[in-house]
Amino acid sequence: MPRRRASAAGLVFALLVVATIAAFAWSQRLKRDPLVLDRVTFGTAASRAFTPNGDCRFDRVRIRFRVTRSDRAIVQVVKPGGRLIVTLARDRFLKRYRFFTFYWDGRIRNDGIAPPGRYKLRVKLLGQDRTLAPPGAIRLHRAPRNPTPGCSRGPAEGAP
């Protein structure tokens, strides 16, 4: 019986060694793959934070990125845990090496205002069946409601 235990332990050890080598080879392969989503920026160079309070200053945040492979995509804002907050674009064609700009006004799916906190960008590439979440976060700060009469909601709002 002790001989059987020794051979079982040896087999388990050999399987662990093979699994470790396979995991290392797979991670090296992934490191060599080119970035699919790059040059991601949120807001301005000075701040990634915004305050959607109706005063025409930083009421929306600009989200800008490019892709290195053309594909159809879904662009979303999510909480860091992955919970969906709002979809900015559905089934949108993203041409490779072109910059794409989206604006988020702090609203959530049921037309309320999102609570203050950190949010992330998530891009689902439909043709490649990949979901990408770049590093960095969008910060939504609480600010007192101070609507400005005649405030226009043009495309450059919140992105000076």
Q: Is the pLDDT of residue 154 over 80?
A: no
74 vs 31, which has greater pLDDT? 74
Q: Residue type at 67? A: V
CATH assignment, 36-140: 2.60.40.1930
Annotated domain spans of the chain: 1-33, 36-140
pTM exceeding 0.75 = no
Q: What is the pLDDT of residues 104-113, one digit of tens each?
A: 999 998 778 8
Average pLDDT value over all residues in the chain? 84
Q: Which residues of 12-39 are buried (b: 16+ CB within 10 A; e: fewer)?
A: eeeeeeeeeeeeeeeeeeeeeeeebbee
Of the pLDDT bands very low, low, confident and very high (cuts 50, 70, 90), residue 91 is very high
